[in-house]
Structure 1
Amino acid sequence: MPIWVNEQFDPSGILYSCIACCDQAQAQDCHQTFKDNLSEDQKAAGWVARLRTVESWDEVPANALKLD
């Protein structure tokens, strides 16, 4: 079962926030919220919202909010 990982990175590539869960619909909703909450200034500066899947909780960043 894949684990969906939502990540938001600042312009220097540092992970700013992360939420992980096993529910695809919930993950996609969260990803859309991450994207929508980035201001135009943040986007222009290089902030990025990313959604990816991993196969193990060991692959999820340690500081993530984990929902299951």
Structure 2
Amino acid sequence: MTIWVNEQIDPSGMIHACIACCNESQAQDCHESFEDNLSDKQKAAGWIAQLRMVDSWDDVPVNALKLD
């Protein structure tokens, strides 16, 4: 099973938003939204929107919104 994890991460590495799901299309849409919602100021400061894949729900951050 592949689980797609979207994260908005600040320059210190703290995750501010996290959504995980098993649907690749839904994950791509979410990633685009996360990217679009970062302001130019945040991007310049080092904020990132990250999309990554994991193999188990155990590898998803605890605070994530989990969509099945």
Q: How does the TM-score come out when normalised to structure 1?
A: 0.98
Partner AA of 2:3 in structure 1: I
Partner AA of 1:37 in structure 2: N
Matched residue pairs, number? 68
SS at match of 1:61: coil
Structure 2 unaligned spans of 5+ = none
- Cα distance in 2 for residues equivalent to 1:23 and 1:64: 15
User: For residue 14 of structure 1, what is the aligned residue in structure 2?
Assistant: 14
- Cα distance in 1 for residues equivalent to 2:5 and 2:13: 16
User: For residue 52 of structure 1, what is the aligned residue in structure 2?
Assistant: 52
Shift of 1:11: 1.2
Partner AA of 1:65 in structure 2: L
User: For residue 35 of structure 1, what is the aligned residue in structure 2?
Assistant: 35
How many percent of aligned residue pairs carry the same amino acid? 71
User: For residue 25 of structure 1, what is the aligned residue in structure 2?
Assistant: 25
